[in-house]
A and B are shown apart, each in its own frame.
Chain A
C-alpha cells in the first residue's frame, strides 16, 4: 500500500530532525467531527466522497480526503481540497433532516507528521500500542493517549504516522518527541 498523503509538511523547518526520525508540522486542513447512526453515516459517506468506514480502527481515503473511524458512531473527516464551509454545506445538504452532528474542527486540531525508520520507536516512548506494521497496519487510525494528551494516531505509511491533536496540546506533544529524539543522536 502506498503512502497516504493528505497531510503535507507545512514548509517550515522540522520540529524534530534526528537520525532515523523526523517530525514536521502539517499544513492546515479542513477537519470535521461527524457523529450519527447508520442512517446518517450512509448519506455522509458519499457526500464527503470517501465513504465512512465501519470497521473499527480503520480509515478510508481518496487522494485529498480521509475519514477516520473513531467510534461506532464517530468519525474524523480530513480534507486537503476545498474550503471547510463549502464541504460543510455539501454534507449538510446530503443529510437533510437525518439526525446527526457535524462540527467544523479545522482550527481545533493541528497535526504532526512523524516519519522515518525510527518513527514507531519514537512514538512508543509515550504510546502503549503495538506499532508493528502487521498489527497496526497502514491505514489504521485510533484515538489514544500520548503521555497525558489525547491524540488521534493514523498510520499513513510503513514508516510514517500522523498525530492529530488539539492545538493547545501541541507544544507538549512536540516537546516530548523532541526530548526523546535526542536519544537517537546519542545512541
Chain B
C-alpha cells in the first residue's frame, strides 16, 4: 500500500484516502477571452508528462479535504516532497540529486 503524507493533517495516510488532481502550478489565464484557440488548448490539454520527477496536485478527499502539491517520481512512484497549496515549487534539480544518493 502506498502511503502519502498530508501536509495539512501532518500524518501519512493510505493512498485510498486521496485523489489525484493532475499537474500542479498551471495557472488559469486571467482573461480567457483574449486567448487564441491554440493558447486556450495549450492551457486546457497540454501537460509535461515527464519521465521522472513531476509536481502534482493531490487532494486528501477522505481526510481533511484539502488540495496540496507533491513531487512524485513517475518511474518509481516515490513521493519526494509534499507541500501546501500556494507554496512555491521546490528546487526539482536539488530534489532529484538528493533522491539519487
Contacts and interface: CB of A to CB of B under 8 A. Distances in A.
A70 B65 CA distance: 8
A92 B17 CA distance: 32
Contacts of A150: 62
A15 B1 CA distance: 31
A142 B16 contact: no
A169 B10 CA distance: 28
A57 B6 CA distance: 12
B43 to A, nearest CB: 29
A142 to B, nearest CB: 7
- Majority SS at the chain B contact face: loop
A56 B14 contact: no
A143 B17 CA distance: 9
B100 interface: no
A107 to B, nearest CB: 22
Interface string A80-110: 0000000000000000000000000000000
B30 to A, nearest CB: 24
A56 B5 CA distance: 13
Given A128-B1, A145-B16, A145-B17, A72 B62 contact: no
A144 B64 contact: no
B62 A145 contact: yes
A144 B13 CA distance: 9
Interface string A136-153: 000000111100001000
A143 B65 CA distance: 9
Q: How large is the interface on A (under 10, 10 to 19, 20 to 34, 35 or more residues)?
A: 10 to 19
A101 to B, nearest CB: 13
Contacts of A74: 64-65
Given A56-B9, A128-B16, A143 B66 contact: no
B62 A56 contact: no
Given A72-B8, A128-B1, A142-B9, A56 B17 contact: no
Contact of A144 (B8, B10, B63): B63
Given A71-B64, A143-B64, A145-B62, 20 more contacts: A56-B8, A56-B9, A56-B64, A57-B9, A57-B10, A57-B11, A70-B64, A71-B63, A71-B66, A72-B8, A74-B64, A128-B16, A129-B13, A142-B63, A143-B63, A143-B65, A144-B17, A144-B62, A145-B16, A150-B62
